[in-house]
Structure 1
């Protein structure tokens, strides 16, 4: 199997004094995803939870919505000239009657989950479930605790400092699943794939916490998984906020300590006295 970290010799400089040591880097390798033997896309990812990544990618594309839509997932043997398995090519076999998604035109770098779409229209996926009327209710105190809870579950980040994380939490802030990857979109796809394969979709009354910014693609992935709230430590993009408002998703950004900005879906934030945010109802300063 591929490694999630790679050790490499480096020169470290502290206060103008050089030393030599071995450092751990987050592994980044290509993964080719095939559907019924036909190449679909190549994504750059951190090895690990590859079956979840492939399944979650298909959830994000709107191709599957339940574990029964997938008959099998397996690595393809003989991926090199020598006939060795690199564990960088896998094939998803869909259940009979499930139509395959349209192949991507390009590979997907670790920084982008929508690259390779053939048209602007294809960027938008049609969700199987609506999150608009999800009864999720959150307190600012619960939301404020999510970054630390996510960080405490990042095992590979502790060794490399170079991975994004995505965590799924209950309304009370209890972790359900945490995944890491060099690509933030891959980390979310790994979560969605875990949920699909575990029979948990749609993910009602949950919160998705991500370690970076909240982009359009992450809002879309949350909606595709039936997740009603997305929180990020950094800023959302304008299109992310637009899509969140359109879909009825609660979008929270600049989540730092007890401060946060609620961009959409503020009805799900209980800001009454005694919830850890004072009595004014002011949830956030500007970023």
Structure 2
């Protein structure tokens, strides 16, 4: 679609050690943020602010993590509606998902608020407890085993594939890894939750669900919403570069998920599910505790 980035003039101000001010004008590259309306069977479900691209993955990932669909066969068709902008050209900002005939239609009471933002948390949810009960996968039973070295390496591997971030510095990313550290899919977006939905939507289309034995790595913090999205896809481990929230840790502990935060360089903190992080005895001698 060619609308992932946009150039804009900006004034750059630099201060010297002597507090002298230097001003220059130069074009800057920005990450594009535009609304995406998601429709189900022709009915508007929600609008989210996102970075254009991988829109079908985003729509399907959101439907999966909201419990609307559970498998690729639940979706009969995904298509962009030919909505037009003020210039008369298609915006590709509306996706209509047609569900399979045997998938229950959405009741009117399930309709989301019509606008969510790219920084959305748990928006418009009637009950956090209701969300916790939706996952059909028991990640607690996943026998996955991971080394601290592998977990610590994931953020750098993810960062090396953030092509649009290199140009803008303004996007989050989510990456899906195997237990051996192979990077299967990367998605970028101005919204952390959108990047995760895009990765999960990709996995749904590839008929890889549940994501048993896989690891999700995110470039920012681990919120409750990102943790529940991982659970909906059957992911046993979530790794974040920054801190988790209290609700994220509680949800991970209750469901048997491994939650890792502050994975930066040679350090990481395991907040839940430490049984999956295996440290050999010969290495443990060098650990503090």
With normalisation by structure 1, the TM-score equals 0.93
Q: Which aligned pairs between 1:137-152 and structure 2 lie closer than 5 A?
A: 137-152=145-160
CA contact (8 A) 1:3 1:47 kept: yes
Determine if the alignment matches structure 1 residue 44 to structure 2 residue 49: yes
Question: Aligned residue for 1:128?
Answer: 136
Within-5 A mapping of 1:81-120? 84-101=89-106, 102-120=110-128
Is the CA contact 1:104–1:118 (under 8 Å) kept in the aligned structure 2?
Answer: no
Aligned to 1:237: 245
- Say if 2:169 is the partner of 1:164: no
Maintained 8 Å contact 2:82/2:90: yes
2-side partners of 1:65 and 1:229: how far apart?
20
Contact 2:83 2:94 in 1 (8 A): no
Q: Secondary structure of 2:141's partner?
A: coil
User: 2-side partners of 1:120 and 1:100: how far apart?
Assistant: 23
Asked whether 1:67 is paired with 2:72, we answer yes
Instruction: State the 1:256 CA deviation.
Output: 1.5
From 239, 252, 257, the counterpart of 2:260: 252
Among candidates 173, 197, 200, match of residue 192 of structure 1: 200
Moved segments of 4+, more than 3 Å: 78-84, 118-125, 280-283
CA distance in 2, matches of 1:46, 1:272: 42
Over aligned residues, Cα RMSD in angstroms?
1.7
Q: Which residue of 2 aligns with 1:34?
A: 39
2:83–2:93: 8 Å Cα contact kept in structure 1?
no
Q: Supply the distance in 1 between the matched residues of 2:284 and 2:265 (Cα, whole angstroms).
A: 15
Question: C-alpha separation between the residues in 1 aligned to 2:117 and 2:190?
Answer: 10
User: How far apart, in 2, do the equivalents of 1:106 and 1:242 lie?
Assistant: 29
Gaps of 5+ in 2: 16-20
**What secondary structure is seen at the aligned counterpart in 2 of 1:42?**
strand
Question: What is residue 62 of structure 2 aligned with on the other side?
Answer: 57
Distance 1:41 1:113, change over 3 A: farther
Moved more, 249-258 or 157-166: 249-258
Which residue matches 1:208?
216
Measure, in 2, the Cα distance between the counterparts of 1:94 and 1:281.
52
Indicate yes or no: 2:6 matched with 1:6.
yes
Give the match's secondary structure for 1:107: coil
Please give the secondary structure, in 2, of the residue aligned with 1:208. Answer: strand
Answer whether contact 1:127 1:224 (CA < 8 A) is retained: yes
Which residue is 1:227 aligned to?
A: 235
In the TM superposition, what whole-angstrom CA distance separates every residue of 1:168-197 from its partner, at most 9, and x where no partner exists?
111111101111000000000000100000
Mind listing any 5+ residue stretches in structure 1 that lack a counterpart? none
Of 181, 202, 206, the match for 1:173: 181
Change (3 A) 1:31 1:128: same
SS in 1 for 2:139: coil
